[in-house]
Amino acid sequence: MGGDSNDAADMTPTVTLAELYKEQGFLDKAASVYKKLLVMEPDRAELKEALEAIEKRLAVSTPPAEKSETKTMLGHLNGWRKVIRERKKMLDQKGEKRRKILVIHGPNLHMLGRREPSVYGTSTLKEIDEEIKKTAEECGMSADTFQSNHEGDLIEKIYETIDGYDLLIINPAAYTHTSVAIRDALLMLDIPIIEVHLSNIYRREPFRQKSMIADVVTAQVVGFGKDGYTVAVRAAANMSRRA
């Protein structure tokens, strides 16, 4: 087992894999898979419960299986590993394209950190983008980010999602309140779109309380400052997993 390169550490963590290890009596490996799953989905109560149950069993310290039994179990496990390996290969081939997020930032957001910090916070866009990418990785996805001050550039970027991305997160900034053109471009997409605003636009000046895209997007995240982006990435990852 120790020398086998297809050990728990190499496999895509899934509940099925964890359950297989558990059934075969490899509780430590099952616990390690659940721990990885919890890093990706820390709020899933059933994962926490499953891990706790395994840890309780580990604490009681199950006596090691007889040698011959171990051999049989290894045989079973290797069979399952083969199935899992094939499935992983298949998911990797499909998954690359399925799990990409594009994050678009509109005008003036490149000045975050210096721009009205009392409203938009002190983090720079570079810091926010790094956090977005890190969160996406933690969720088993990847994220590209883009900022422009020009409406046409934003529209062209929106179109890039058609073949390349599964989810779009967009903060059109001031264009939120004015751009029929951005609204029309978003109407072309058939992927989930999450609208993010650092500030709570519904508690600001009347002209900001109207979003031209609110009824086109799948969901809105407003008022959480920079955290709105990571909230959106996590929600998007869950959404994509369910889909």
The Cβ of residue 69 has, within 10 Å, a number of other Cβ atoms equal to 11
Where helices occur in the chain by DSSP H, the ranges are: 15-23, 27-40, 45-60, 67-98, 117-120, 125-138, 151-164, 180-187, 227-242
**What DSSP character marks residue 240?**
H
Q: Which stretch in 2-10, 18-26, 66-74, 169-177 sits in contact with ligand DQA by CB under 6 A?
A: 169-177
Phi first, then psi: give them for residue 72, nearest 5 degrees. -65, -45
List the catalytic residue out of 21, 120, 165, 229. 120
Residue 106 C-beta-side C-alpha neighbours within 13 Å: 19
In terms of CB distance, is 128 or 237 closer to ligand DQA?
A: 128
Residue 238 lies near ligand DQA (rule: CB under 6 A)? no
Q: How far is the CB of 166 from ligand DQA (least distance, A)?
A: 23
Residue 120 annotated in active site: yes
Residue nearest to ligand DQA (CB): 173
C-alpha distance across the termini of the chain, in Å: 35
From 31, 37, 154, 198, residue interacting with ligand DQA (rule: CB under 6 A): 198
197 belongs to the catalytic site: yes
Catalytic one among 34, 105, 197, 229? 197
Say if strands 193-197 and 100-105 run parallel, antiparallel, or are unpaired: unpaired
- Residue 40 vs 201, nearer CB to ligand DQA: 201
Does 176 engage in binding with ligand DQA (CB under 6 A)? yes
Distance CA 4, CA 19 (A): 20
Give the footprint of ligand DQA on residues 98-137 (CB under 6 A). Answer: 108
Q: Which residues are catalytic?
A: 120, 197
Chain positions contacting ligand DQA, by CB under 6 A: 108, 171, 173-174, 176, 197-199, 201, 208
